[in-house]
Amino acid sequence: MAQKVLFETSLTETSDADIEGVGTLRYGDEGTVYRWVKNRSTTTAIVAKQPVCYNEANVGDSTMFQSVNEPETENLMLAAGMANTALAASAANALCFGWVTVQGYFKDALVSGVTNIVIGDELICADDANTLVIGSAPATAPKYSSHFVALETAISTSVQQSKDILVKCL
């Protein structure tokens, strides 16, 4: 029989300390999986419902799955999931620890772009932004191992829209 695991924090709670064990996975309803992480940046806060990436400098090290930061050119292929809530920059005494969704359904993700998005399109992190954009031409096979799938349509615009997605970053 599986043991029940108890967590001290809710999925939208943040902390200034590593109370859940950084890198810990939490299994939720209907196959959704979450990871307890730290915002790696000491200067940039993470916005709620934005995509986050692992740091490329930590590839090949067990610490890779412990911290996340905003998508940037060098880490776009290392999608880590979606921030469940805002995470402060990791300066002293900041609420920089929290949960990110690494697999499963995610409601109201931030999306934008110059191409219409339809249900089933592959979405990826936008460079130096807090939104997802279309990752490959519509109706083509996914190109990225960690990505997101549109579950709602979105009209092309540079304005952020809130749309439901499927997270595939585990």
pLDDT (tens digit per residue) in 30-58: 899 999 999 999 999 999 999 999 988 88
Residues 75 and 110 in one domain: no
| Any domain includes 8 | no
Q: Helices (DSSP H) in the chain: which residue ranges?
A: none
Q: Please state, for a pLDDT cut of 70, what percent of the chain lies above it.
A: 96
| Any domain includes 5 | no
Residues 134 and 155 in one domain: yes
Whole-angstrom distance, CA of residue 144 vs CA of residue 109: 18
Mean pLDDT of the chain: 90
Task: Please tell me the predicted confidence (pLDDT) of residue 1.
Answer: 53
CA-CA distances (angstroms) from residue 29 to 26, 55, 103, 109, 131?
A: 10, 28, 11, 18, 25
Residues 81 and 123 in one domain: no
Question: Are the CB atoms for 123 and 135 separated by under 8 Å?
Answer: yes
With bands split at pLDDT 50, 70 and 90, how would you rate the model's confidence at 3? low
Residues 95 and 110 in one domain: no
Judging by beta carbons within 10 Å of its beta carbon (0-12, 13-18, 19+), is residue 165 exposed, middle or buried? Answer: buried
Residues 29 and 99 in one domain: yes
Task: Please tell me the predicted confidence (pLDDT) of residue 113.
Answer: 84
pTM to 2 decimal places: 0.91
- What range does the domain containing 61 cover? 25-103
Residues 86 and 113 in one domain: no
**Residue 122, beta-bridge partner list:** 149
- Who has greater pLDDT, 150 or 143? 150
Residues 117 and 72 in one domain: no
Total structural domains within the chain: 2
Residue written as token pair 């905003």? 70
| Any domain includes 19 | no
Whole-angstrom distance, CA of residue 86 vs CA of residue 52: 11
Residue range 70-98: average pLDDT?
Answer: 92
| Any domain includes 154 | yes
Q: Three-class SS of residue 66? A: helix
| Any domain includes 55 | yes
| Any domain includes 86 | yes
Residue that is last in its domain, among 82, 103, 124: 103
Q: Three-class SS of residue 126? A: coil
Residue that is last in its domain, among 88, 103, 118: 103
